[in-house]
Structure 1
Amino acid sequence: MNRKQLWLMTCGVTAMAALLSACGGGDGPDGGDGGGGGAVVGDAAPSAGASADPSPFADPVSEKAATAEKVKSAVEARLSVHEARFGSGGTSPCSTGSAKMFTQDCDAAVRTTNDDAAFALTQIGGHEGFATLSAAAQKIQQAAARYQELGCAKNPADAADRQACLAPASVLAQGFPDLRSGANLGLAGK
């Protein structure tokens, strides 16, 4: 009886491997060539589409990695263009050392940085593993709202208002690098 059960189990595993190989279709998600690196079950060799691990435990990890890469690519594409236009850190018009901090130049950078933060949050959606990017985007949005609320771009005459503009402007000047760093850390699930 044990021999018959072993034979049935072997047939079942072989049939399952053949079914999974047939359902894989095309190249695997890793773009590999699917050539002979897989294990042989019975007489059936894995098909070209079966180079990825068909176990149910591999899918969530590869799905998270694919999502993180997609988010990083989308965010990075926007950041590169906007950072080239406005600069960041000490080269940003919102830098606390810049003569443009209280001008429309900084205001334009604030609006763009805020839009990029909103875009990043939209890209994250409900996905897990983007805590750093989410925190950076929310901090930027709060700083942009505060910068607008204080009227910093209108060169306020009151010393207290000017002083209050320094903190949000500093966050916004560093906005592009912070979003980029958050997107990169998303690849590690952070």
Structure 2
Amino acid sequence: MGKKWIEGLMILAALWAMTGCGKQEMIRCEYTNETAGFTLSIDRPVEWTAKLQEGWPATETEEASPDEGIRIYTDDSQESSIYFCNSFSPYYAGDENDLETVEVNEELTALHGIETSGEWISESYVFKGDFTGQGFYNITISMSQKDYKKYKKIISQMVASCQIREWEPENATVSESIENVEKYSK
């Protein structure tokens, strides 16, 4: 009886592996700024939330923000996030002199830094290259150490999926942006 039980478990495990259960289902998110002429895209887990974050004009109490991009949250608390954006200044985690150059994927290299402060981790990728649009393209990861350890493999997949490309009206896929990225409300 014990041998049949073990064989049954082995068969179930094999079926589970073959059907792809246990793999994280990902969805593509895109943000296009037609005026500046660029598109940012990144894959994220289906269960996570992506919000479009656009810059805002200055007010009497707040400076203007030219930053714009996709902010991805791991859950409804919106405490841990990944922000893929275009900004007028680079976001570095750690000392700029201690950053290392890393190959993110076949198309992108970045200056990479990571620092820990209390229970939080900040990780940054500042992309290097000749890109369309002004400023810098960054990924900034701000997470609790617990979430960072839990999602480290997924974060690596997300970063590797990043694309920065020139916006081409004839190839635009507006439906991806609308369906997979919500409007961010401040």
Say yes or no: TM over 0.5: no
> TM-score, structure 2 length as denominator?
0.26
Choose between structure 1 and 2 for higher RCO, CA contacts under 8 A separated by at least 6 residues: 2
> TM-score, structure 1 length as denominator?
0.25
